Chains A and B, each alone.
Chain A
Amino acid sequence: MNEALTAETVMMKGHGGDQVEAYLARPDGTASFGGVVMIHHLPGYDSSTKEMARKFAAHGYATLMPNLYYRDSPGESPDDAAAAARAKGGMPDEQVVGDVAGAAAYLRGLPGSNGKIGVIGHCSGGRQAFLAACSLPFDAAVDCYGGAVVRVPQGAPASFKPLIGLSKNLSCPLLGLFGADDQFPTPAETAELSRTLDEFSKPHEFHTFAGAGHAFFRVDGPSYRVEAAVEGWDRIWTFFGEHLAGKA
């Protein structure tokens, strides 16, 4: 692995055929690679999430992160765009799924794609990664502490529904990475999700890290937990290596 990569902003076709901005990071000098759709967290299409996209490319995966807030906030800073999206009540699930589908199609169409595509998200993006994996064909999905899968927080918009009822539609193996001290989702909720996936014989592996709460991967905030994050990354590389790597 030489870790050489190219990263750039591209335009892709999203939900409803809309042109949507996206951040593409892909490995250089690799003849065949898998793809990863990265779903940004509620604070938006920000630098720390783009850094994660580059990390995936350095590990050999073409990664595309659509800017879910682009329609209403083209060219705006990520924090302003996130605030505007919040003021509007958030992104409709249907639109997110459409944008993720567009990103997956874009990755499949890249020269060198091996046709295997995964999806990953953190926080709200973790919830949306589960949603996408229950709505679209994927080869692997990673939910990093996605809340509101089993239980919707008090005060959430009325349109916001729990997703556990979609479990029977999960299209691919699921890796779940959670913090033992997290309240959304709690360990009891992720255990309930695991039991539900078992009922439908859906392959999954969940890891709950002691001493970690929500957002333990976030390197630019105090929630970062080095032990959980390092082990979490190792779990991701093993999981994607099993399901996304290899030649077409």
Chain B
Amino acid sequence: MCTYSTAHVPAAGSGKGPDGWFRLREVSVYLDHPVHALADHTLNIDFINPARGPSARVAVELTAQTARDLVRAIESALADAPPGLV
């Protein structure tokens, strides 16, 4: 199915796209058909800067398991950071 549902997260940081590094302004998160991954549905994340055009995008298509593992790894990395760093 096409889910049509998308979470939009304001973003500060940088990403590296086809034309090099750019400032991130937003992250789109959604579960839908992938373009490239071999799965019916994937958790897709687009790191984007709309002001720089559609190609200013870092895209990933993850299986649900990978997405959950990634969430845990991110939370763990942040929790384990030495005091004062984040």
Contact = CB atoms under 8 A, between A and B. Distances in A.
A34 B25 CA distance: 47
- Which of the listed residues A46, A72, A84, A160 has the most CB atoms from chain B within 10 Å of its own CB? A84
B35 interface: yes
A83 B59 contact: yes
A222 interface: yes
A73 interface: yes
A147 B1 contact: yes
Q: How large is the interface on A (under 10, 10 to 19, 20 to 34, 35 or more residues)?
A: 35 or more
B3 A86 contact: no
Contacts of B76: none
B56 to A, nearest CB: 9
Contacts of A79: 35, 59
Question: Which 3 pairs across A and B sit closest by C-beta, in order of nearness?
Answer: A155-B5, A184-B1, A84-B54
A123 B59 contact: no
Interface stretch (B26-34, B65-73, B78-86): B26-34
A52 to B, nearest CB: 16
Contacts of A215: 33, 40
A92 interface: no
Interface in A61-102: 72-73, 76-77, 79-84, 86-87, 89-90
A54 interface: no
A154 B38 CA distance: 25
B76 to A, nearest CB: 28
Contact of B33 (A43, A76, A154, A160): A43
B14 interface: no
B40 A123 contact: no
Contact of B4 (A43, A77, A160): A160
B48 interface: yes
23 contacts: A41-B2, A42-B32, A72-B54, A73-B53, A76-B54, A76-B55, A77-B55, A81-B54, A83-B48, A84-B50, A86-B30, A87-B8, A90-B4, A155-B3, A155-B4, A155-B5, A156-B4, A213-B40, A221-B33, A221-B34, A221-B38, A221-B40, A222-B40
